[in-house]
């Protein structure tokens, strides 16, 4: 069991591990941010008396690092895709994708973002709600209404 006042022991046991995970980040600011977050996470675990062993604590730090890394990748991919969609950029010549982008362009901005973020990138409605500044139910409704509109537009197109 680790105590918060055992800083030398904590530093010796987890300092290299935290630096190792922080160095996996590409940018310098991201490294510093990750290192600070992992240290605060570690002291949070210790404060809540959940740091029962060195192995358990190391695994908890690793899991926190992986979850933050996945969040960062999702955010980066979402920003790039939304930037491309808003700019009207088509990166390939497939007719289906161009048609789908045209259909997505007919949706409202928030509906389009909700559909893309949930169905393409797999973000939860809680994460989408945080981005849009609304409730989870509102984000879910945006996504479902967007899908209904897309289905209706696709069926109308095939009937012609």
Specify the CATH class of 90-159 in words. mainly alpha
> d(Cα 159, Cα 89) in Å, to the nearest integer?
28
Domain boundaries along the sequence of the chain: 7-69, 90-159
Residues in contact with 97: Cβ distance below 8 Å, sequence separation at least 6, in sequence order: 90
Statement: the pTM of the whole predicted model exceeds 0.75: no
Give Cα 51 distance to the centre of its chain.
27
Read off the DSSP letter of residue 119.
Answer: I
pLDDT digits (tens, 9 = 90+) for 95-125: 667 777 888 888 888 899 899 889 888 889 9
């Amino acid at each position: 069991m680790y105590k918060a006042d055992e800083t030398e022991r904590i530093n010796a046991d987890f300092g290299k591990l935290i630096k190792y995970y922080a160095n996996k980040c590409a940018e310098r600011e991201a490294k510093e941010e990750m290192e600070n977050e992992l240290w605060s996470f570690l002291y949070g675990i210790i404060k809540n008396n959940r740091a029962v062993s060195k192995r358990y604590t190391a695994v908890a730090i690793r899991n926190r690092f992986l979850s933050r890394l996945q969040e960062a990748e999702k955010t980066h991919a979402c920003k790039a895709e939304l930037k491309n969609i808003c700019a009207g950029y088509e990166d390939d010549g497939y007719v289906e994708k161009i048609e789908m982008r045209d259909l997505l362009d007919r949706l409202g901005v928030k509906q389009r973002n909700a559909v893309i973020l949930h169905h393409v990138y797999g973000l939860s409605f809680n994460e989408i709600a945080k981005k849009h500044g609304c409730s989870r139910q509102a984000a879910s409704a945006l996504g479902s209404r967007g899908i209904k509109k897309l289905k209706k537009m696709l069926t109308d197109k095939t009937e012609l």
